[in-house]
């Protein structure tokens, strides 16, 4: 309980800093600017919570603290969908008359994630084992990433399109719109609630597929629904913030060391912790850049996350806690 | 589900099982009664573990059926199945820093609701730990226990399910003599308390001491079944294992021809 209060306090401080940080001071902030900063704050909270809880689900399902939504190919699928939408909106201006521009990005992100998810569920239905799902997820992830790189190479001769795609790939919530936040909010809320409901099942699944099945777990249903909610969370996060790494690895692993392996409390704490971490990272992206502009958010999370994760993992491994 | 005491609580009928294109069990039939300990023996690869998992409903049969209280076990929902049949693995895959109390609490999963714990949750865990003399272990990390303690905790988890049928896969194979005897005594005590127990064992002496009935498997088929004295005979043992029993007290054995 004390830990939850501490994380909530961190989130409140990060949120206040996010609203106060920018070239225009608080006293000169008009309603329009305040609304923009609020959208950015909400995007950070939603993307951070979604990524962290997606990490909890993947680590629980695969019983591996190094698992993350990226191993399922769902994040890469969502990213490819958004990249296609960004290209389409520039190269085919008529497209935005069919699908409103504000809806195109989230719709394409969720469609890309759904494509990856469809492949995973088809394999889960035919094979029913986690190893096959992991292998397919890794293949999908590499395939979608390769297609994304190909799209980026096609955009080389169009400076504006190339800039948009690179910005998205590097990750950042500064491009999130009110519409994308409005689309993502109910999806993230439902997925967080559903993830919490699967928490006890994931606790029992810590004993392995066979033992869990003997204790009453419908392991196929668990795998399907954990993949579905991971896909929803990852797609929402990618749609809001592009390529942001390490949140789903760092936040759950740090909190698990204090809370233990029980998934329900870990999901609540990770949602709060992920939101606080990404909001704070977004403030750093704005504050630490030497001139005008921002450091890409994905670069901040990776620069902080990679060495921290190596240190943390080594320490926990030595202590026998991981 | 009401189980008639005169009827078997678990019936395996003409069970065949194909795994990875190979028939690992062929035409297996047995009846398990409440209060009975039935022991599966046989050389490595004879199909003991496959039969244990099929009897638990964890492997669907290729033909034949496993019936519990007159219902095919594969037709039961996972939670309903877990309330009737409990499985104790040879070794658990648990390695995540869970405490013993949390491990045993997993046994209550099939009784818990979506939102809250079953009313008897804590009492059932305490009772299960008491039955295996492991109450003092409740707050210790599971992975720090000795092999014998781990096995007792896994049996406690199975007891926490309140299932009337316990199915164990070589529970004593990795234990020293004292812990093996402790597990055998515990299983006998549980059978006397009314549990139906199907257990795969390697050691023929242990099988003789523990069993009310023995099933000897060879190459996925039943070579002999019945009382321990009838099944663990020199003829059957030579046929199944290729070794000769040496008379005198226990079932000592030497390599065939030596």
CA B146, CA B150: separation in Å to the nearest integer? 6
- A24-28, B5-9, B81-85, B129-133 — which one is most confidently predicted on average? B81-85
CA A260 to chain CA centroid, Å, is 23
Mutate to test the interface with A, among B97, B125, B150, B155 (most CBs of A within 10 A): B97
Tell me the mean pLDDT in the region A299-320: 81
Tell me the mean pLDDT in the region B172-194: 86
Judging contacts by C-beta atoms under 8 Å, the chain A residues touching residue B92 are: 207-208, 211
Tell me the mean pLDDT in the region A293-320: 82
ipTM of the complex as predicted: 0.88
pTM of the model as a whole: 0.85
Interface residue A200 vs chain B (CB under 8 A): yes
Which residues, at least 6 apart from B226, have a Cβ–Cβ distance to it below 8 Å?
Answer: B213, B214
What 3-state DSSP class applies to B166?
strand
- Computed over every residue of chain A, the mean pLDDT equals 87
Nearest C-alpha neighbor of B190 from the set B150, B149, B133, B231: B133
- Computed over every residue of chain B, the mean pLDDT equals 88
Residue B258: Cβ within 10 Å count: 6
Q: A64: distance to nearest CA of chain B, Å? A: 9
Rg of chain B in Å (alpha carbons) = 18
What percentage of chain A carries pLDDT values higher than 90? 36
Tell me the mean pLDDT in the region B160-165: 94
Q: What is the pLDDT of residue B217?
A: 96
CA B155, CA B167: separation in Å to the nearest integer? 10
Q: Which of B58-62, B206-210, B249-253 has the lowest mean pLDDT?
A: B249-253
Q: What is the pLDDT of residue B196?
A: 96
Token pair, residue A114, equals: 């759904």
Per-residue buried b or exposed e for A97-133, using 16+ beta carbons within 10 Å of the residue's own CB: eeeeeebbbbbbbbbbbbbbbebbbebbeeeeebeeb
Nearest C-alpha neighbor of B85 from the set B76, B94, B93: B76
Report residue A194's pLDDT band, with 50, 70 and 90 as the boundaries: very high
Nearest C-alpha neighbor of A82 from the set A109, A117, A47, A107: A109
Judging contacts by C-beta atoms under 8 Å, the chain A residues touching residue B90 are: none
B170 close to B202: Cβ distance less than 8 angstroms: yes
Tell me the mean pLDDT in the region A144-157: 87
Report residue B84's pLDDT band, with 50, 70 and 90 as the boundaries: very high
Q: Which residues of B touch A (CB under 8 A)?
A: 53, 56, 58, 77-79, 81-83, 85-87, 89, 92-94, 96-98, 102-103, 106-107, 109-110, 112, 114, 157, 161
Find the closest chain B residue to A221 by CA distance: B78
Q: What is the pLDDT of residue B249?
A: 54
Torsion of the alpha carbons at B176, B179, B183 and B189, rounded to the nearest 10? 140
Q: A199: distance to nearest CA of chain B, Å? A: 10
Report residue B225's pLDDT band, with 50, 70 and 90 as the boundaries: very high
Contact (CB<8Å) B78/A213: yes
Residue A247 has pLDDT above 60, yes or no: yes
Interface residue A208 vs chain B (CB under 8 A): yes
A322 close to A253: Cβ distance less than 8 angstroms: yes
Kindly give the interhelix angle for A247-259 and A263-287, rounded to the nearest 10 degrees. Answer: 130
Residue B257 has pLDDT above 60, yes or no: no
CA A47, CA A253: separation in Å to the nearest integer? 18
Among the partner residues B56, B98, B103, nearest to A214 by beta-carbon distance: B56
| Partners of residue A133 on adjacent β-strands | none
DSSP states of A257-309 as a string?
Answer: HHH-S-HHHHHHHHHHHHHHHHHHHHHHHHHS-SSSS---HHHHHHHHHHHHH
């Amino acid at each position: 309980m004390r830990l939850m209060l501490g994380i909530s306090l961190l989130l409140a401080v990060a949120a206040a800093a996010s609203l106060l940080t920018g070239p225009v001071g608080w006293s000169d902030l008009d309603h329009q600017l305040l609304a923009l900063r609020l959208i950015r704050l909400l995007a950070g909270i939603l993307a951070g919570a979604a990524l962290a809880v997606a990490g909890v689900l993947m680590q629980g399902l695969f019983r591996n603290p190094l698992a993350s939504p990226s191993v399922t190919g769902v994040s890469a699928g969502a990213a490819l969908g958004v990249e296609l939408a960004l290209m389409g909106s520039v190269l085919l201006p008529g497209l935005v008359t069919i699908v409103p521009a504000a809806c195109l990005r989230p719709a394409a992100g969720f469609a890309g994630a759904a494509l990856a998810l469809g492949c995973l569920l088809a394999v889960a239905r035919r094979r029913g084992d986690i190893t096959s799902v992991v292998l397919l997820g890794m293949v999908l992830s590499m395939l979608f990433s390769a297609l994304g790189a190909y799209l980026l190479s096609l955009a080389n001769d169009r400076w504006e399109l190339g800039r948009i795609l690179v910005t998205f790939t590097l990750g950042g919530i500064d491009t999130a719109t009110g519409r994308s936040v409005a689309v993502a909010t109910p999806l993230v809320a439902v997925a967080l609630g559903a993830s919490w409901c699967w928490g006890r099942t994931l606790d029992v699944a810590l004993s392995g597929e066979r033992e869990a099945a003997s204790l009453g777990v419908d392991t196929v249903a668990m795998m399907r629904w954990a993949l579905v909610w991971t896909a929803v969370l990852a797609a929402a996060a990618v749609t809001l913030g592009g390529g942001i790494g390490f949140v789903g690895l760092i936040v759950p692993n740090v909190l698990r060391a204090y809370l233990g392996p029980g998934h329900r409390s870990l999901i609540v704490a990770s949602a709060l912790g992920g939101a606080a971490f990404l909001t704070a990272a977004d403030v750093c992206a704005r504050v630490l850049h030497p001139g005008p502009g921002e450091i890409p958010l994905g670069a901040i999370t990776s620069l902080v996350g990679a060495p921290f994760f190596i240190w943390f993992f080594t320490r926990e491994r030595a202590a026998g806690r991981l | 589900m009401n189980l008639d005491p005169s009827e078997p609580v678990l019936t395996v009928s003409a069970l065949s099982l194909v795994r990875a294109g190979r028939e690992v069990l062929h035409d297996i039939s047995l009846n398990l009664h409440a209060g009975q300990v039935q022991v599966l023996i046989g050389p490595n690869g004879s199909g003991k573990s496959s039969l244990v998992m099929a009897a638990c409903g964890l492997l669907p049969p290729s033909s034949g059926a496993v019936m519990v209280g007159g219902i095919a076990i594969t037709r039961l929902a996972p939670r309903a199945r877990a309330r009737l049949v409990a499985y104790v693995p040879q070794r658990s895959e648990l390695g995540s820093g869970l405490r013993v109390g949390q491990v045993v609490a997993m046994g209550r999963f099939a009784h818990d609701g979506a939102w809250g714990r079953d009313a008897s949750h804590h009492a059932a865990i305490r009772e299960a730990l008491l039955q295996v003399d492991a109450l003092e272990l409740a707050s210790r990390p599971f992975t720090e226990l000795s092999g014998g303690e781990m096995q007792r905790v896994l049996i406690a988890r199975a007891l926490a399910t309140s299932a009337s049928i316990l199915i164990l896969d070589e529970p004593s194979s990795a234990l020293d003599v004292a812990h093996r005897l402790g597990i055998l005594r515990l299983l006998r005590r549980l059978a006397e308390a009314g549990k139906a127990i199907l257990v795969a064992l390697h050691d023929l002496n242990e099988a003789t001491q523990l069993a009310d009935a023995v099933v000897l498997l060879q190459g996925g088929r039943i070579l002999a079944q019945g009382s321990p004295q009838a099944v663990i005979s020199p003829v059957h043992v030579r046929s199944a294992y290729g070794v000769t029993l040496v008379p005198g007290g226990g079932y000592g054995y030497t390599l065939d021809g030596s």
